[in-house]
Structure 1
Amino acid sequence: MITRNSLYRRLLTWLLLPMLALGGLMLFQAWIDARQTADRAFDRLLEAATLAIAEQVQWQDDRLWLDLPPAALEMLATDAEERVFYALYDNRGRFVTGNAELPGASDEAIAADGGLLYRDIQWRGMALREGIRRTRLEDWRQRERFDVRVAHTQEGRERLASQLLRGNLAYILGMALLAAATMVIAIRTALAPLTRLRRAIRARDPRTLAPLELPLPRELAELRETLNELLARMRRVRANQERFIGDASHQLRTPLAGLSARAELALRQDDPAQWRQALIAMQETSTRTSRLAMQLLSLTRLDNPEYRPQLAPVALDGIARQAVKQHWSACHRDGIDLGLETPQNTVEVQGLDWQLEEALGNLIDNARRYGAHRITVRVTEAPPMLEVEDDGPGIPEAKRLLMLRPFHRGSDDPDGSGLGLAIVDGIARTHGARLGLADGHDGQGLKVTLSFPGDPP
């Protein structure tokens, strides 16, 4: 079924329109050729008639005399029963004899055509084709100049032109039908690979993302490769989702089981103090579980190969102030000195404010959880850089790359998830920044830096 937006219909339309225009031009040219051919044929008869009449002109009794043979005019009489007129004029333009006083032409027009002139005229309400021959007597004693004028109506010409046109029209229509049939077959044949591609896509299992393997012409092969690239991206997205589901189920199974066990144990007790202890433990476990779930979601989004966020100018010093403000109470409660160092000028980079805030939050939280007593958040201007430095136990140089892997922890702290540095690494890659791990001041603790590329915007 051909719809309004059918490619087949559009191709057929755009190919038939030029063909129709060309056919119209061919018909117009055929009509002109038919007219010219009819004119040439009947002009030859006019020429023969004027010549036959001119040969019969003689000089008798000091005047021009004409004995007109019937064949001179019969040659112009066809089945169309045209009306034929003739006239003889002397060198002074005076009518000598004939069956009609036909109009003449100027000497210049006759001379320009070599003494024989053809023209279309309107005479007494009739459209005539006239031939004028200017010649002289062949007698050596008399070289009198005279004009022979012959004209006839154009029914025969028009009938001959119509016959020629009908013949050409039948040929043109036959060629047009053949060309149209050939065009339709060619378009269907050319679009057959597209139909095969559509059927192959429609017949596929919707759950499979395997690449299409279908021999196609070069133009459609590019479409097939584009579809295969889309399928490859979908495979990567699905693999990322499956990895998230596996990680989440593995990481959340333990705390959820712990919550269930704590609740079951508390229900077996009658002492309100034990209930309170169980509720405190359950609250801590739920907090860790919620934080773990949020980190898993962040890591999954950052690891998505199709995630291409639109970066915008952000102020690093403002992000650092916001991060310090959010974590101040938790650090103060744990007796940790949380400080901030920023330059006087605003430091801007291309980035996402919420991701950079999350990166700083993970670095501050890691330092707080792993024994730091002093944490410094630092912003530098040249080059633009974010730093979080602490005086905790630090990370040995040999293990720093391992710490960037998800779920790898440097200690047996049950509160840790091993996702903080992995998330920071993903955020750094999203911003095109370089993540660095180094020793802190005087070789103590850990200094994590995010170095952003280029100059400030």
Structure 2
Amino acid sequence: MKAQGSLYRRLLAWLLLPLVMLGTLMLVQAYLDARRTADRAFDRLLEAATLAIAEQVQWQNERLWLDLPPAALEMLATSAEERVFYALFDGDGNFITGNARLPGDPRGDSDTGDTLHYRNVEWHGLPLRQGIRRTRLEDWSLRERFEVRVAHTREGRRALTLSLFRGNLAYIAAMAGLAVIVVLLAVRSALSPLTRLRRAIRARDPRTLAPLELPLPRELAELRETLNELLARMRRVRANQERFIGDASHQLRTPLAGLSARAELALRQDNPQAWHTALQAMQSTSASTARLAVQLLSLTHLNNPEATPNLQRLDLNAIARSATRSALSACHRDGIDIGVETTDEPVMIDGIDWQLEEALSNLIDNARRYGARRITVRVLAAPPTLEVEDDGPGIPAEKRLMVLRPFYRGRDDVEGSGLGLAIVDGIARTHRARLVLSDAGDGKGLRAALRFMGDRR
């Protein structure tokens, strides 16, 4: 399966992305704060400049007169070399003096006291910050209104803004670097138990299935317990496989040793009749050994879920007829009456045809080998059921679970491997069915039924 990327990188991305967004917001906020601080500082200078100019306005020769002190404008001159403009207007808006005819406030004069207004203007292509002070002469006999307009270009404001922003930027960068280091250490620390778990799994011997004993956080402890449950199931599977292999090797060793012994004994004889007898015995042993090998392969195939084919729609009536035809010759040779009872309507299930036929074949073969004289294969519709009923000696109730184990035989005087019912039980589980063993209808013999639990369609 293709890897879905690094968990470490994914955590870093999800943690650092909010930090980057927060850092960006902090930078924007720092710049805005720096600009507001610079504006407030220079607006205070504008206020001081307009006030200094207003204090120098006098009434001489029937008109307003201004003796501008140098300090009034020098306070607005910084190292950024801004351009500073001023103008004095009377109460009717007539220009009195100044170095530029600066525009007035379009809102008009609705105030009666000493007021100061700030605004940003575009004048002759220059962006300016302007302060307009409306006031009156402070004289007991004359209170002439006038207006002082002072403006300067924005170089100094921008320089102060950048200077303040650079100071904040260093602080924010230090905080961001510390936050990144903390996130890296936190992610590495949080993932260290996962690293220890990975190393512990890699260091294990592939042949051992012992449970993992490793202290882990709660979230990873659940993963550890899940792995331990998987290992426990694998231990049970391996134990079953080892037991099955041991039993199978024992079961195959005995007939093969018998074949070798009979062949060696026949070679020591000179009588053709002895040879013939030995060949007959060897033929019978080889036939039973071949059947044992086929059953072993079938049982192994059933225990391998990866090799299970897809289920298909089947009619149980057709399965029963096919299995009965296949067993007819052997039963006829042994003098056994075999028949089949089917339903009028198809009984459909989802299944595998060759497995169901093999299950019926094993049930019929068991009945034939254990002394039945009459065998009936039957199909029932509700629930869908395949039955094999015989009039043989049957199986005692206390042994009906044991006979489902591989290589278990109820009687030692009957030729067989003890795999037939185990194979039938495995086929039943594959089809979500149950193998039910019970007494026959007349109280004599055995009824083996495969009852399917799935819904009919």
> How does 1:360-375 map onto structure 2 within 5 Å?
360-375=360-375
Q: CA separation in 2, counterparts of 1:419 and 1:109? A: 113
Partner letter of residue 26 of structure 1?
M
Runs of 5+ in structure 1 lacking a partner?
Answer: none
Deviations 1:97-142 (CA, angstroms, capped at 9, x unpaired)? 111111222025987xx94222223333433221112223344544
Match of 1:25 in 2: 25
Q: Is the 8 A contact 1:134 1:148 kept in 2?
A: yes
Shift of the alpha carbon at 1:246?
Answer: 1.0
Shift of 1:216: 0.8
1:437 equivalenced with 2:437 (yes/no): yes
2:221 corresponds to which residue?
221
- Going from structure 1 to structure 2, the CA distance change for 1:398 and 1:35 (only over 3 Å counts) comes to closer
Question: Could you say if the C-alpha distance between residues 396 and 152 of structure 1 is closer, same or farther in structure 2, counting changes exceeding 3 Å?
Answer: closer
Query: How big is the shift at 1:308?
Result: 8.3
| Cα distance in 2 for residues equivalent to 1:229 and 1:408 | 30
Instruction: Give the match for residue 408 of structure 2.
Output: 408
CA displacement, residues 274-326 of structure 1 (integer Å, 9 cap, x when unaligned): 33332222222111112122323444555679998865543221211221122
* Structure-2 change in CA distance of 1:120 and 1:347 (3 Å): same
> Structure 1 pair 173/395, CA: closer, same or farther in 2 (3 Å)?
closer
1: CA distance, partners of 2:162 / 2:400: 97
Residues in 2 aligned to 1:316 and 1:204: alpha-carbon distance in whole angstroms: 50
Going from structure 1 to structure 2, the CA distance change for 1:456 and 1:258 (only over 3 Å counts) comes to: same
User: 1:261: how far off?
Assistant: 0.7
Instruction: Name the stretch that deviates more: 29-38 or 400-409.
Output: 400-409
| Cα distance in 1, alignment partners of residues 400 and 231 from structure 2 | 36
- Alpha-carbon distance change, 72 to 219 in structure 1, aligned in 2, over 3 angstroms: same
Measure how far apart 1:366 and its partner are.
Answer: 0.9
**Maintained 8 Å contact 2:247/2:407:** no
Q: Secondary structure of 1:412's match?
A: coil
Work out the CA distance in 1 between the residues paired with 2:126 and 2:231: 80
Equivalent residue number for residue 130 of structure 2:
130
The one-letter code of the counterpart of 1:87 is: A
For 1:302-353, what per-residue CA distance to the aligned partner results, in whole angstroms no more than 9, with x for missing partners?
5679998865543221211221122122222222222111111111234433
Aligned-pair CA distance for 1:38:
0.6
- Name the SS for the 2:372 alignment partner: coil
Paired amino acid for 1:207: R
Contact 2:299 2:426 in 1 (8 A): yes
- CA distance, structure 1, for counterparts of residue 159 and residue 253 of structure 2: 100
1:60-90 deviation per Cα after TM superposition (whole angstroms, max 9, x unaligned): 3332222223322222122333322110112
Structure-2 residue corresponding to 1:376: 376
Quickly say closer, same or farther: Cα 1:69–1:203, change in 2 above 3 A.
same
**Closer, same or farther in 2 for the Cα pair 1:34/1:396, shift >3 Å?**
closer
What is the alpha-carbon distance in structure 2 between the residues aligned to residue 410 and residue 166 of structure 1? 94
**Matched position secondary structure for 1:195:** helix
Aligned AA (1:103): P
Query: What is the TM-score with the length of structure 1 in the denominator?
Result: 0.90
Corresponding position: 1:245 with 2:251: no
Which stretch of the first structure deviates more once superposed, 179-188 or 418-427?
418-427
SS in 2 for 1:443: coil
Find out whether 1:88 has 2:88 as its counterpart. yes
**Cα distance in 2 between the residues matched to 1:308 and 1:219:** 35
- Residue 314 of structure 1 contacts residue 349 of structure 1 at CA under 8 Å; is this kept in 2? yes
Residues 116 and 131, structure 2, Cα contact 8 Å, conserved in 1: yes
CA drift at 1:171:
0.6
SS at match of 1:107: coil
**Equivalent AA in structure 1 for residue 41 of structure 2:** A
Go from structure 1 to structure 2 and tell me whether the alpha carbon gap of 1:412 and 1:193 turns closer, same or farther (over 3 Å shift).
Answer: closer
Pair 1:140–1:109, CA change in 2 (3 A): closer
447 and 96 in structure 1: CA distance in 2 versus 1, 3 angstrom threshold: same
C-alpha change, 1:41 and 1:275, in structure 2 (3 Å) is same
1:359 aligns with 2:359: yes
What SS is found at the alignment partner of 1:415? coil
Query: Number of matched residues?
Result: 454
Aligned mates of 1:109, 1:24 — CA distance in 2: 43
Secondary structure in structure 2 of the residue aligned to 1:379: strand
2:437–2:449 contact (8 Å) kept in structure 1: yes
Partners of 2:87 and 2:149 within 8 A in 1: yes
Query: Over residues 29-66 of structure 1, what are the superposed CA-to-partner deviations in whole Å (9 max), with x where a residue is unaligned?
Result: 21221111111100011011112222332333332222
Q: Which amino acid aligns with 1:54?
A: A
> How far apart in 2 are the matches of 1:109 and 1:330?
125
- Which stretch of structure 1 is more off in the superposition, 407-416 or 84-93? 407-416
Aligned mates of 2:14, 2:357 — CA distance in 1: 58
Q: Would the aligned equivalents of 2:369 and 2:414 in 1 still touch at CA under 8 Å? A: no
Taking every aligned residue pair, what percent have the same amino acid on both sides? 73
Cα distance in structure 2, aligned partners of 1:52 and 1:115:
14
Query: What does 1:39-118 correspond to in 2, within 5 Å?
Result: 39-107=39-107, 115-118=115-118
Shift of 1:164: 0.7
Alpha-carbon distance between aligned partners in 2 of 1:62 and 1:338, rounded to the nearest angstrom: 144
Q: What's the offset of the Cα at 1:397?
A: 4.2
Structure 2 vs 1, CA of residues 422 and 292 (structure 1 numbering), >3 Å: closer, same or farther? same
Corresponding residue number in structure 2 for 1:8: 8
1:210 CA drift (Å): 0.3
Change in Cα spacing, 1:129 to 1:360, as seen in structure 2 (3 Å) is: same
- Structure 2: runs of 5 or more not aligned: none
- The two structures, once aligned, show a CA RMSD in angstroms of 2.8
Q: Measure, in 2, the Cα distance between the counterparts of 1:108 and 1:269.
A: 142
Map of 1:256-295 to 2, 5 A cutoff?
256-295=256-295
Summarize the Cα distance change of 1:180–1:4 in structure 2 as closer, same or farther, 3 Å threshold.
Answer: farther
